[in-house]
Chains A and B, each alone.
Chain A
Amino acid sequence: MPDKTDFYDRLNIGTGASEEAIKKAYRLAVRKTHPDVNRNEGATQLFLDIQEAYKILSDPNRKGAYDDGRGSHETPPAVHTAIEFSQDTLIRLDEPQIVYSMIDIVSTLAEKDTTDLPLNISFVLDNSTSMNGARMDILKSATKEIIQELNEDDIISVISFNDRAEVLLSSQSHPPIAHVESSINSLFAEGGTEIFQGLEAAFEEIRKNSPFDYVNHIILITDGHTYGDEENCITLARSAAKLDIGISGLGIGIEWNDEFIDKLCALTGGQCMFIQELNQVKDFLKHSITSLKEAYSRHVSLEIIPAPGVNLLSAFRILPEALPLPHQEEFSLGILKKDKPHRILFEFLVNPVPEEIDQAIIASGEFILKRKPRDYTIPFTLNRPIVAELEEPQPPPEEIFRAISHLTFYRLQEKAQKDIASGNPGTAFQRLINLSSHLMAKGEESLAKIAMHEADYIKSHNNFSPTGKKQLKYGTIRLMLPDKT
C-alpha cells in the first residue's frame, strides 16, 4: 500500500470537497478500516491515519492552515523549508534598510530511505602541457580508481581537452575495466587550455541520455587559465543549468582562474575546490561522487522576486557547499540531498514603507524540486511586521549572525582584491590587517596568519601572492560552513 501522507488522499476526496462531503468520506473510510471490522495487517495504522486527517480537515481553522501549508493540490514531497530573518520586526525608517534572510530547504527523508538515483557523470580532464608529469599521473590514477567505484547503472564519460577536446570514453554504463584503463592511459600532456572545448564535448555526452532519469554532473579538473572562451563557457553553463546538469570544478596549483570556475559552479549548483597538494585530487573526486550519490532530487532551483521597493543586493549559498551566487533572480542549486539542507543567505535593501502599511513585503519566491515522475513547486513569501519603535532591542538570531559575520570576512578579502586592482595597495594592506585581527578574535588562527602574511606581502610587492590570494578566498568561504570542523 502506498504511503498516504496527504490528508485528502487518506479520505479519498478532492481538495475542493465540502464540509458535508468530508464528513461522508470520513464515515465511509471508518466503516472500512475500523479494527473491529477490518482485521488485515496495517488496518489499525490506516484507521489512525484517517482519524488524524479528519481531525484537521473537519476543523475550518486547522483545515485552512493545512491547505496553506500544502500549497498545491498535489501530494507534497518530503521536504521542509525554513526561513529566518536578521530582524524579527522591522523598525519604520524614512531611509532604506538592510534585511538578511536565510532560507533552508531540506529533504526530511533519512539517507537510507528511497533508493539512490543513478548518476550520469562526465569527467573533463585538462591535458595541456602544464599538466605534464606528476599532475597527469595522479589525475589518471585517481580517475581510473573512481570509475571503478561507480555503480552498474551509472553512466560515465571521460573527455580530455587542451586546444581541442577528445572523447576518451563515450557515454556508457559499466564500461569494461580494460577499456577504461587503455583510454585513460592514452592521455598525455600537450597543447594549451581551452576549457570550452572540454565542456562542450562533456555536455554532448551527458545529453545522450535523458537528463530526467539521472543526476547529471560534469566534473572539470584543470590547472590552467582559459583565454577568450570564457563567455562561451558561461553560456554553456546556463544551458546546462536549464537541463539540470551541474558543473563542479577542481583547480590544481595557482595558475587557474578561480573567479571563472567559481562562476561556472555557482551557475549550475556545483562546487569549486582549490587544492595545493596533488594527493587531494582523489579526495575531491570521491567527495563529489559521494555527495551526488546522496541525491533525493536530481535538481532543485530557487526563484526569488523582490517586492516593489526592494532590491536583492546579494545571494550566498552557505550549504551544502559555500559559494557566492551570481547576481540574478533564479538560482540553480544542484541536487537536493537526503537529510542535508540547502541554505541560501539573501541580502535585501528595503526602501521606506508607507505609514499605513504595517507589514513589509520583502520578496516572494519558490523552490522548484525536480523528481521523477514530476516536478514540485514549493512557494514562500518573505515578509516582516513593521513598527514605529521597538520596546526592547532584539539581538540578532545566532545562526544568521554567524553566517553574516563570516560573510564579512569573505567580503573583506574580496574588497582587498579590488583595492589591488584599482591600484590601492595601502588600503588593501589595512583591510587585511583588520581581517586578520577579526579572524584572530574568532579563534581562526591559521587563516588570520595567512591574512597577516598577505598584508606583509602586499607591503613589499603591492600585490597578493598567487597562493595566498586563493588560500584566503577559499579559506574565508570555508568558514561559512556551520560544521567546518
Chain B
Amino acid sequence: MITCKVCNNQEFHGVFFCGECGSQLVLTDDKNVDTFIYPSQVRGLELDISNTIPKKLLENKTFILYCLDQEEMINIPDQVEFTIGRFVDGQVITPDVDLNLYEAFDKGVSRLHATIRINPEKNKIHVIDLGSANGSSVNGYEIPANSEVPLDHGDVLTLGKFRMKVILPKELK
C-alpha cells in the first residue's frame, strides 16, 4: 500500500491519485520541466542569512523560502505540496501559506497564486503558477501558468512583485 502524504489515506500500489483528497501520488516527468532552463547568472542576490535564520532551523528544514524585502524566513507547512497566496475574509479556499503578513496585497499576490510541490525522494522542488492575475517568474523569467517549473537553490521566485529566495539548507556550506 502507499500512503497519501497529504491526508494519510492508504491506496494500492499503482494508483496515481489519492481517492480521498485527490492529491497526486506518483511522480510525473513533466515534459515542460526540462525545457525551462534558467541561466544561472541571473540567479542573483548573494545573501547572508546567517543572522536571520537560526542554525538549528536550517538543519531541520529541507526547503526554505526567504522573503527578500522583509528579510525574513516565510513560515511554510511541513507538507509535500502547499499553496501560496493571500487569505481574504469570506473566501472558501484559503492558501496554506498566507503572504498577507508580508504586505502581499500591495505586491499583487493573488488569493491562490501558486503551488509548491516537493519531492523528497528525487530531491526536486517545483512551482506551479495557478493562473494568477499578475503572474510569477523565476530569476526574472516569467513562467507559464499551470505548468511545473523546477526550483533550485538560490533561485529567486517572484509572485506578482513579491520576491522570495529559494534556499536548500543542504546546499549551504
Which A residues fall within an 8 A CB radius of B?
86-87, 90-91, 93, 95-100, 349-350, 393, 395-396, 398, 401, 404-405, 408-409, 411-412, 415, 431, 433-438, 440-443, 445, 452, 455-456
Q: Which residues of B contact A445 (CB under 8 A)?
A: 131
Chain B contributes a number of interface residues (CB within 8 A of A) equal to 29
B82 to chain A, nearest CB (A): 11
A95→B22 contact, CB < 8 A:
no
Q: Which residues of A contact B131 (CB under 8 A)?
A: 440, 443, 445
CB < 8 Å neighbour of A441 from B14, B16, B29, B146: B146
- Kindly state whether residue B49 has any CB partner on chain A within 8 Å: no
B22→A409 contact, CB < 8 A:
yes
B19→A443 contact, CB < 8 A:
no
How far apart are the CA atoms of A416 and B153 in the complex, in Å? 40
Q: Which residues of B contact A95 (CB under 8 A)?
A: 1, 12-13
**Per-residue contact bits, chain B 12-39, to A (CB 8 Å; 1 contact, 0 not):** 1111110111111011110100000000
A313 to chain B, nearest CB (A): 10
30 contacts between A and B (CB under 8 A): A86-B14, A87-B14, A90-B14, A93-B13, A95-B13, A97-B14, A98-B11, A98-B13, A98-B15, A100-B14, A100-B16, A395-B29, A396-B28, A401-B16, A401-B28, A404-B17, A408-B17, A408-B22, A433-B92, A433-B93, A435-B22, A437-B83, A437-B112, A438-B22, A438-B23, A440-B131, A441-B128, A443-B145, A445-B131, A456-B92
B88 to chain A, nearest CB (A): 13
CB < 8 Å neighbour of B16 from A405, A409, A438, A455: A405
A411→B19 contact, CB < 8 A:
yes
A441→B12 contact, CB < 8 A:
no
Interface of A is mostly: helix
Q: Which residues of B contact A408 (CB under 8 A)?
A: 16-17, 19, 22
B134 to chain A, nearest CB (A): 16
Q: Which residues of B contact A395 (CB under 8 A)?
A: 27-29
- Kindly state whether residue B167 has any CB partner on chain A within 8 Å: no
- Kindly state whether residue B136 has any CB partner on chain A within 8 Å: no
- Kindly state whether residue B115 has any CB partner on chain A within 8 Å: yes
Instruction: Tell me the residues in window 113-132 of chain B with beta carbons closer than 8 Å to chain A beta carbons.
Output: 115, 128, 130-131
Shortest Cβ-Cβ A-B pairs, 6 listed: A98-B14, A97-B13, A408-B17, A395-B29, A97-B14, A443-B146
B123 to chain A, nearest CB (A): 14
Q: Which residues of A contact B23 (CB under 8 A)?
A: 434, 438
Q: Chain A: which residue is nearest B7 at the CB level?
A: A434
A101 to chain B, nearest CB (A): 11
How far apart are the CA atoms of A283 and B11 in the complex, in Å? 42
Q: Which residues of A contact B146 (CB under 8 A)?
A: 441-443
Point out which of A411, A437, A455, A456 has the most chain B C-beta atoms below 10 A from its C-beta.
A437
How far apart are the CA atoms of A197 and B93 in the complex, in Å? 47
Q: Chain A: which residue is nearest B95 at the CB level?
A: A437
A440 touching B92 in the complex, CB below 8 Å, given contacts A98-B15, A412-B22: no
How far apart are the CA atoms of A91 and B112 in the complex, in Å? 38
Point out which of B26, B28, B92, B115 has the most chain A C-beta atoms below 10 A from its C-beta.
B92
How far apart are the CA atoms of A98 and B130 in the complex, in Å? 30
How far apart are the CA atoms of A97 and B13 in the complex, in Å? 5
Other CB < 8 Å A-B pairs besides A91-B13, A396-B16, 16 of them?
Answer: A87-B14, A93-B13, A97-B12, A98-B14, A100-B16, A395-B27, A396-B26, A398-B31, A404-B17, A412-B22, A415-B20, A433-B93, A436-B92, A436-B93, A441-B128, A456-B92
How far apart are the CA atoms of A412 and B22 in the complex, in Å? 7
Q: Which residues of A contact B130 (CB under 8 A)?
A: 440-441
Q: Which residues of A contact B26 (CB under 8 A)?
A: 396
B83 to chain A, nearest CB (A): 7
Q: Which residues of B contact A96 (CB under 8 A)?
A: 12-13
Q: Chain B: which residue is nearest A403 at the CB level?
A: B16
Q: Chain B: which residue is nearest A91 at the CB level?
A: B13
Q: Chain A: which residue is nearest B16 at the CB level?
A: A404
Point out which of A90, A412, A441 has the most chain B C-beta atoms below 10 A from its C-beta.
A441
A389 to chain B, nearest CB (A): 13
Q: Chain B: which residue is nearest A436 at the CB level?
A: B93
How far apart are the CA atoms of A443 and B27 in the complex, in Å? 20
Q: Which residues of A contact B14 (CB under 8 A)?
A: 86-87, 90, 97-100, 350
Q: Which residues of B contact A405 (CB under 8 A)?
A: 16-17, 24
Q: Chain A: which residue is nearest B146 at the CB level?
A: A443
Q: Chain A: which residue is nearest B29 at the CB level?
A: A395
A434 touching B21 in the complex, CB below 8 Å, given contacts A86-B16, A405-B16, A443-B145: yes
B29→A98 contact, CB < 8 A:
no
Q: Which residues of B contact A456 (CB under 8 A)?
A: 92
Q: Which residues of A contact B17 (CB under 8 A)?
A: 404-405, 408
Q: Which residues of A contact B24 (CB under 8 A)?
A: 405
A116 to chain B, nearest CB (A): 40
A441 to chain B, nearest CB (A): 6
How far apart are the CA atoms of A311 and B173 in the complex, in Å? 53
Q: Which residues of A contact B12 (CB under 8 A)?
A: 95-98, 349
Q: Which residues of A contact B16 (CB under 8 A)?
A: 86, 100, 396, 401, 404-405, 408
How far apart are the CA atoms of A63 and B110 in the complex, in Å? 63
